[in-house]
Amino acid sequence: MDVSRRNFLKLAGAVSAGSALGGLSMARPIHAYAKDLPTKGAKEVPTLCPYCAVGCGQIAHVRDGKLVNLEGDASHPISRGRLCSKGAATYQMTVNDRRLTKVLYRAPGASEWQEKPYDWALQEVAKRFKATRDATFVEKDGGALVNRCDGIAWIGSACTDNEECYLFAKLARSAGIVSLEHQARL
């Protein structure tokens, strides 16, 4: 394109006039956001805060088996949707790149820790639990029926919710465990 002085001036005039007219539109820009919630289409699973004895209600938003959000359950009679700073951070208990994905195992008498997968650890715990329970089960004490297991003590985690605690207690009681405690009270 042959840009003569005259053509250049014409072009410059047109550009500045265009930008000036653009600048004159006084309409305030209105937000243009994606209006969809990040939780759209996620399944709402009511659960309980695992941390303290208040037991505030929580809603876990789950999509494709993955936790996408977790917040207070507004229909919960105790907390009415509210959570404290600890309860509000429950999401990162599940979704956290600092979470341990393997267990450390030190065999009896060994000095070194070994990395083992969770499945192995669960199997091992179950195996030893059954063996110890069978070995130390006391059916009668002085003629009285007691059905207790003296060889095992059970300590629950502080990161388990109400339903999990219920199941743990059931399992421990059914095995005859008397020393059953929860970490939050330690």
Is residue 47 part of the contact set for other proteins (CB under 8 A)? no
Instruction: Identify the residue among 3, 24, 135, 186 touching other proteins (CB under 8 A).
Output: 24
CA–CA dist 46, 135 (Å, integer): 40
Check binding of 21 to other proteins (CB under 8 A). yes
Tell me how far, at minimum, the Cβ of 44 lies from other proteins, in Å: 13
| Non-local CB neighbours of 91 within 8 Å, separated by 6+ positions | 67, 69, 70
Question: Which residue bears the tokens 């969770």?
Answer: 118
Binders in 121-180 for other proteins, by CB under 8 A: none
d(CA 58, CA 3): 69
Beta-bridge mates of residue 140: 145
Q: With contact defined as beta carbons under 8 Å apart, do 42 and 63 qualify?
A: yes
Q: Is 32 in the site for other proteins (CB under 8 A)?
A: yes
Full 3-state SS string of 109-125 = CCCCCEEEEHHHHHHHH
Nearer to other proteins, 56 or 175 (CB): 56
Contact 45, 26 (CB under 8 A): no
Six-digit token string for 122: 């669960």
91-97-102 Cα angle (round to 5): 110
- Contact track, other proteins, 80-99, x by CB under 8 A: -xxxxxxxxx-xx-------
* 38 near other proteins (CB under 8 A): yes
Q: Which is nearer to other proteins, 48 or 149 (CB)?
A: 48
Out of 42, 48, 70, 149, point to the residue binding other proteins (CB under 8 A). 70
Question: Which is nearer to other proteins, 69 or 160 (by Cβ)?
Answer: 69
Residue among 72 and 176 whose Cβ is closer to other proteins: 72
Residues contributing to the site for other proteins (CB under 8 A): 4-6, 13, 16-17, 19-21, 23-24, 26, 28-38, 69-72, 74, 79, 81-89, 91-92
